[in-house]
Structure formats: C-alpha cells, structure tokens
Structure 1
Amino acid sequence: MNEQNLWIDETDGVVTLGLTSEAQEELGKINFVTFPEIGAVLQKGEAFIEMEAEKAVIEYVAPLSGTVLEINEEAKNNPAVLDSEDVKQAWLVRLQKA
C-alpha cells in the first residue's frame, strides 16, 4: 500500500496520519498493529507501521518526515478501532513535521 491509503491532517505543524475508508475496505478487519515508538524519527518513504488484517499483512510508508508525538493508544489495545466508519477515529500517529 502507499501513502494514498492514508489521510493527512495538519494543524500548527502537527500532522495526524490515519487510514482512509479505501484502506479499511482493502484490509478488512484489522487484528494487530505494530506502532512506532513515541519519539521515533520517521523518514519519508520508509515503513513506519505494520498491520495484520483478514485480507492482508501490510506495511505503510511515511508520506513525510517527522518525529512521533503520539500514537493511537486505543487502537494499539483494540485494533478494531481502526475499522471505524468515522475515518477520523482511524488515526494512527501524530508527528511533528521535520
């Protein structure tokens, strides 16, 4: 998958990345997610998150460079959150842009 399956929302230099409804549809039910550590520096084009779902195991690449400020702890504990019809609930990480 590519960055087109991620939505990006930027507010005051903080970027939130999340799954689009298209990505949710392609993946099916999400069973497990490996998140980056808070404080990790992501480089544009490098894999930053891995998901196991009923239809695929996939790595997503960062669409931009930045430092991880926050991860979706709720999704870490309950990956089904990422299947939400409200894609704003399907956020993955918040970054401080590099």
Structure 2
Amino acid sequence: MSNNEQEDDRPNLEVPDHLEYSDEHVWVDASVDPAVIGITEYAANQLGDLVFVDLPEVGTRVEAGDEIVELESSKAVEPLVSPVAGTVRYVNREAADDPSIINGDPYGEGWILKIALDDDEPDLLSAEQYAAMLRRL
C-alpha cells in the first residue's frame, strides 16, 4: 500500500506539526509557557459527542501518567492521562461549559489545560510519529 492510500484511510484526521503527542491521544504545545494540553482529533472522534468535562483545580500538581481530567461522552467516560509533569495554571472553563467545543476544535478553542511544566523532558511523539501510530490502529 502506498503512503497516499494509507493517508486516504484517514482523510479528515488533523495532526498539527507543531504539537507533540502521547500514545494516549493527548497533544501538548510546549512552545508556549504554560504548555497547552488537549485531546487529539482522533480521541475526540473515538469518544463521540462530549457531554461533560471534569477539570482539576488550578494549582493542582500533576505527574506524567496521572488521570487529571474526566471526559464523558454519550459513549463512554474516559480519563485524560497527563503526558507531562507540572502545575495546572489554567483550565478551559468554556470547554467545561460547552464540551462540544472540544469535538469541534480540539487543537484550538477546545484546549483543556495549561500546565507550567517541570524541567524534565516529557517523553512525547512528534507529529510524524503520532500519524504513523494512527495508521497502525
């Protein structure tokens, strides 16, 4: 199968190049401080229409691997697993009030948290590595 045919399997999945990704389908924009975190378009599609987002309190310390947000859709309740360690500085209250923002714009207005990162380098995937992982799913 050529690369073009593989890409055609997922014609609508966006994987922005400037972000880094976890294998739990969470994106991180560490180019800004605090870092911005959200779920990928793939995760939003898998969950379906979100109906509730349970956000942590600002000031909460998180470690990589912690379940820090609960995402509830008509299909399932799934945790957002933090791919980074740090302190929550902002939460997206608009997304909590209207979770459909996350489904509609997961890489923009649908961001979920902003975290002041600890100094350790998170173990994240590049956009290219994440896209390759999606093709294997």
Q: TM-score, normalised by structure 1?
A: 0.90
Structure of higher RCO (CA pairs closer than 8 Å, 6+ residues apart): 1
Q: Percent identity?
A: 29
Q: Which has the larger radius of gyration?
A: 2
Q: Return the alpha-carbon distance in structure 1 between the equivalents of residues 37 and 45 of structure 2.
A: 17
Name which of 92, 113, 117 aligns with 1:72.
92
Which structure shows the higher strand fraction?
1
Cα RMSD (Å): 1.5
Name which of 9, 21, 25 aligns with 1:5.
25
Question: How big is each residue's C-alpha offset from its partner over 1:10-66, in whole Å with a ceiling of 9 and x where there is no partner?
Answer: 134421111111001100000001001000001111100001102211011110101
TM-superposed deviation, 1:97: 0.5
- Runs of 5+ in structure 2 lacking a partner? 1-21, 119-137
Structure 2 residue identity aligned to 1:56: A
Contact 1:3 1:62 in 2 (8 A): no
Q: TM-score, normalised by structure 2?
A: 0.66
Equivalenced residue count is 97
1:48 maps to which residue?
68
Structure 2 residue identity aligned to 1:47: E
